[in-house]
Amino acid sequence: MKKNIKSIKKDYSVVIGGAAGQGSRKAGLIIAKLFNKLGYNIYIYEEYQSLIRGGHNFSQITASEKEITNRKEKIDFLLALDKKTIQKHKKNINKEGLLFFNSNKIEEKGVGIEADKIVKESDGLPIMANIALIAGLAKTIGIDWSVLKKILEEEIGKELEKNLKVAENSFHSVSSLLKIEKTKNNPKLLMTGNEAIARGMAKAGLDIYFAYPMTPASSILHYFAAHQKETKIIAVQSENEIAVASEAIGAAFAGKRSAVASSGGGFALMTETISLAAQAEIPFMVINSQRMGPATGVPTYGGQSDLLFSLWAGHGDFEKFVVAPSDAEESFYWAGKLLNLCWQYQTPSILLTEKDISEGTFSVNKEVLNKVKKEKELLWTGKGDYERYKITPSGISPLAYPGTKNAIVKANSYEHNEKGYSEEESKEMIEAMQTKRLTKFKLMEQEVEALESVKIYGNKKSKTAVVAWGLGAIAARTAVEALGLKLIQPIVLAPFPKKQIKKAFSGIEKVICVEVNALGQMAILLEGQGIKIDKKILKYDSTPFLSEELEKQIRSIK
């Protein structure tokens, strides 16, 4: 890139990497906020090993004038906190891209910043080398010192003055080489997928959150623990996932909206409770944040291999809501909506997310915050004798909670009669109770069809459709726009939105299914509904699709 020219690019890719403990993740967020101030839409991809020290971690910040951003193969700016970062990523730097590095430790071509020297002269700490590189980047790309200073003041809680001194000294040690222009967009909110899930549930009236920490769901627990005073939501860490699930339905039985979260291994331990909740008709919301499996798998990396497990988790005949959002904005909305739905229909619900949504950071439109509110459940009127499992035309029985005047409140995991007493002898009552629940499930299907359960993007007249879900839908949107194809993104997976899916596939002659798993689980689901899948593009190396690689693969089979 030539000196003192204005940048005409509409999107940028920035990578900052180093060993665990060098602060690459926090640095990535600060860089993202610099671009956010200029009106760019943000996605931060986080990659790290399951190590406390050492190894290689990096954050990749994609900043785009377009609304949809996805991780790209090529890098415009690489900030290397160690030599290994250069070795792993230098080959992906654009022809006019720039490499920033600590010239006190590394000899390379690029923008060398004497980070160690600056930190020492500023009376800083070794970890502040990341701030020195950020400040060098900011100056090089034409961001004013006042903008950087304000963001550092917002983001740094400890040793602020030392960090500011390091940043200012580093800022003035380099020259501006280009000017990244401000877009016409206003800055948006930045949220991780897990923060969005937490905030969505809070807006829908969550009272208590139970969890046993498991990557990548753990930061939901961290969010609630850090915000108990302002949200009034109680955060409880229990001894294991069985206890977590049991406590949550106990709280729900008592009338308190609760939720739990884990990844595949912890979710597996909750499946008996899912069946219990379905039979006892207790609202039970679960977040399953997928990672690479089976078993422990690759614990800090992602995948989409829990789809079928989530759909069929639990034994017996019952229906539940299963939803798979693709980014933080959808996560916020559907987390709140699901909490409301499982209370309205007194049934389990599962929010199926994945590591690179949970821990990724996204731009979020502020307007979405007003789309979620607490919706009331069906409550007993207080008239007549209370029957917990009263047979009604809708299949939904009015709720009362322990302590309600003139109500004896029961919950039963056995089949039961209307009052909640166990039933084995009356085959008529056993059938009537199952029919009651099936009636409720029919209403759930109607509810799903009334929501935007399937999204369509790209060329709606195309005879070729790409199907992608979760984070894969973001990469696919970029690809179909370049190729002139149609994208179908299923969001609600159960109850299956048959009418919306039928309409989405009307007139389609070729279907390409894109997934981050080895079996093509969405393809299996769709084929079970009579939709022929012509080609599958499957990735199962524990990383999400890059826009360029997906476009190339679709083009090769189009």
Amino acid at 369: L
Note the Cα 557 to chain centre separation in Å.
Answer: 30
**Along the 558 residues of the chain, how does pLDDT read in single tens digits?**
444 445 667 899 999 999 998 999 999 999 999 999 999 999 999 999 988 788 899 999 999 998 877 888 999 999 999 999 999 999 999 999 999 999 999 999 999 999 999 999 999 999 999 999 999 999 999 999 999 999 999 999 889 999 999 999 999 999 999 999 999 999 999 999 999 999 999 999 999 999 999 999 999 999 999 999 999 999 999 999 999 999 999 999 999 999 999 999 999 999 999 999 999 999 999 999 999 999 999 999 999 999 999 999 999 999 999 999 999 999 999 999 999 999 999 999 999 999 999 999 999 999 999 999 999 999 999 999 999 999 999 999 999 999 999 999 999 999 999 999 999 999 999 999 999 999 999 999 999 999 999 999 999 999 999 999 999 999 999 999 999 999 999 999 999 999 999 999 999 999 999 999 999 999 999 999 999 999 999 999 999 999 899 999 999 986
Would you say how long the chain is, in residues?
558
The SS3 assignment for 57 reads: strand
Angle between helices 24-37 and 145-155 (to 10 degrees): 130
Query: Which residue is associated with the tokens 């029957």?
Result: 387
Helix or strand (DSSP H, E) at 34: helix 24-37
Query: Which residue is associated with the tokens 């679960």?
Result: 286
Residues forming a β-bridge with 287: 261, 351
Strands 11-20 and 486-490 come out as unpaired
Read out DSSP for 169-238?
HHHTTS---EEPPP-SSPP-EEEEHHHHHHHHHHHTT--EEEE---TTTHHHHHHHHHTHHHH--EEEE-
Residues forming a β-bridge with 318: none
Residues whose CB falls within 8 Å of the CB of residue 147, separated by 6 or more in sequence, listed in order = 34, 37, 138
Residue in 98, 128, 129, 126 with CA at minimum distance from that of residue 114: 129
- Domains of the chain: residue spans and CATH: 5-179 (3.40.920.10), 190-371 (3.40.50.970), 454-557 (3.40.50.920)
The SS3 assignment for 497 reads: coil
The SS3 assignment for 466 reads: strand
Amino acid at 323: V
Q: How far is the C-alpha of 117 from the C-alpha of 390, rounded, in Å?
A: 75
Residue in 271, 29, 53 with CA at minimum distance from that of residue 155: 29
Q: How far is the C-alpha of 273 from the C-alpha of 314, rounded, in Å?
A: 8
Residue in 445, 494, 485 with CA at minimum distance from that of residue 467: 485
The SS3 assignment for 140 reads: helix
Helix or strand (DSSP H, E) at 482: helix 472-483
